[in-house]
Amino acid sequence: MKQELKYPFSLDNQSRPAYLRVAAPPALVAGFTLRPGGVSRGPFATANMGYGVGDDERAVTENRLRLLQGVGGGRFSALLTCRQVHGNCCHVVGRRDIDDPGATALLEADALLTAEPGVLLGILTADCLPLIMVDKKARALAVIHAGWRGLEQGVAAAALTEMKRSFASPVEDILVYAGPAIGGCCFAVGAEVIERFQKLPELKGVAGWYCKDDSGFRLDLPAVQKYQLQAAGLDLENFFAVDICTYCHDFCFSYRRDHAITGRQLAFAGLTA
């Protein structure tokens, strides 16, 4: 009988920074960082992984270096992030990007993909939904930034298409891990946001992706994502959500809870060889 791992996340709080480890296929390191174990202070305490949010940039560099050394054991030469713009643009990372992480950091994209070993790709969030997508056979991966605007534009489905186009990864071989994000418990949105999502064909006839009570509407990002990926052909057996709300838990950065002055956690993934 096939042994399926239903909750492939485990806490590694010995590492600096602490992170939720993803039990991914061999030769792949992946996880979602949390707040403890960094050197940032004040509202960015302690493991802020994002530049340009008001934190001391030297602290961010130190936090990133710690992660690079801690999770890779020296096997990763660089951590690449990009300029996330709440769109659905996917960028395939090649040797040129790896050799020039500074230029890659300025690229506008909301999904980074690669089949190159020895580099960590990262997506920064503080309430938006971070995704890690891996091909369990062909050794390719993607990290994806899916806030509500990215979801509306189908960023994860775009990444699935790009995995097929660039790496010949069929959807049957794809595993998707959804990290900490603001949950359906806390993500208050206006009626107009719900109306926009109701127009999406992949949400027609499915329930449970939003709720309404006396306080208004709340959107469930992981639920929306699950239905969108299912519509794009993903078997839901291959979709794993960590189910941790960033707003509810102070071991996560939360843009809304912290009134926009906060750090960023990092979803990261890399091929080791």
* Residues in contact with Zn ion by the rule CB under 5 A: 183, 185-186, 245, 247-248
Query: From its phi and psi, is residue 41 left (phi > 0), alpha (psi between -120 and 50) or beta?
Result: beta
When the beta carbons of 129 and 159 are compared against Zn ion, the nearer one is 129
Taking the complex as a whole, how short is the minimal distance between the CB of residue 265 and Zn ion, in angstroms? 15
CB of 35 to Zn ion, least distance (A): 16
* Residue 123, strand partner residues: 267
Rounded least distance, CB 129 to Zn ion, Å: 13
72/183 with CB nearer Zn ion: 183
Distant-in-sequence, close-in-space partners of 190: CB < 8 Å, separation ≥ 6: 216, 217
Q: Is the dihedral of CA 207, 181, 137, 162 positive or negative?
A: positive
The nearest distance, CB 255 to Zn ion, in angstroms, is 13
Residues 6+ apart with CB under 8 A from 261: 43, 54
Q: Angle at Cα 52 formed by Cα 50 and Cα 57, nearest 5°? A: 75
Q: Considering the complex, state which of residue 167 and residue 255 has its C-beta at the smaller distance from Zn ion.
A: 255
Quick one: 185 or 191, whose CB is closer to Zn ion? 185
Residue number with the shortest CB distance to Zn ion? 245
